[in-house]
Amino acid sequence: MGEQQLGNLAFLFPGQGAQAVGMLADAHAAFPEIGTTFQEASDALGYDVWDLVVSGPAEQLSLTEKTQPIILTASVALYRAWCANGGARPSVVAGHSLGEFSALVAAESLAFDDAVKLVRQRGQAMQLAVPVGVGAMAAILGVPDEDVVAVCTRISDGAAHHVSAVNFNSPGQVVIAGHAAAVEEAIAALKEAGAKRAMPLPVSAPFHTPLMRPAGEVLEQALSEIAVDDPIVPVVSNVNAELQTDGTVIKRLLVEQIASPVLWTQCVQTMLDQGCDRFIECGPGKVLSGLVKRVSKAVSVASIEAPDALKGAIE
């Protein structure tokens, strides 16, 4: 761990969708921590995780049970490279959905080999909770959050026709999910309500809806056999956007998270309220960097996937 402790540095860890064949190739060549972390993941999971990243195919990489451990591994690998090169320890960490597990590894709340097996189970359970084709998700841009919620509430009709707002990503950017027909109906209604864009997402399950409760039960059982320690820095929970420092509470919230909306805008606001003005996105892609900038233009944001970017952010 870097010894320097800064009160204003927040680390953010991305979720599913950030994966790409060939990601982290430059970082792998530059930092030995990348290779050793991927080897640890391969040992834990029983297949060559780095080979899947390098060679693909993209369809394999996009299977939820493969995607989740791969993004977690990539994020933790970059965090280890950051620390090994003298990077400051963050004062707070947060992750988007799956990314919350990466954040907990960085905060020393979850052991890495436990986490990588856990998210594989989480991915399998999420895929099995709803048959392929039954559920759907869509991104809605340019409609106030409360209007999106109101439309979803109006359209939802019992257990077989459900749609809800599941990711509050930034002001004016909300993801909805549920049964495919209900999502389709909501897309049409939100376009009428003035949405700039309302587009289906290429995912195979309605994440963060009540339809995911069976997956929550699987995760709860898996977590009952794993230690979740008190983190060394606070972790912001997706479920309530509050700072968490108690391992027992974190364990409960990880189960709730599967079937609860991701309150990402509020998570970022919580970090801003804590005085954070420097944000590092630690993992593949730059999605979270863009979302932070939509919440506050006054902060500095850096993504450290590329070696030069990581070194530059440390300096």
Q: Which residues are catalytic?
A: 97, 208
Q: CA-to-CA distance for 68 and 65, rounded, in angstroms?
A: 6
263, 168 contact by CB (below 8 A): yes
The DSSP output letter for 4 is: -
Prior bond of 57 cis (ω within 30°): yes
> Counting beta carbons within 10 angstroms of the beta carbon of residue 196, is it exposed (0 to 12), middle (13 to 18) or buried (19 or more)?
exposed
Q: CA-to-CA distance for 175 and 173, rounded, in angstroms?
A: 7
Helices (H), the chain: 25-30, 32-45, 49-55, 58-61, 64-84, 99-106, 112-129, 145-155, 180-192, 213-223, 247-257, 264-273, 287-295, 307-314
Geometric angle at alpha carbon 180, from 176 and 181, rounded to 5°:
105
236, 257 contact by CB (below 8 A): no
Q: CA-to-CA distance for 161 and 178, rounded, in angstroms?
A: 8
Q: CA-to-CA distance for 159 and 161, rounded, in angstroms?
A: 6
282, 76 contact by CB (below 8 A): no
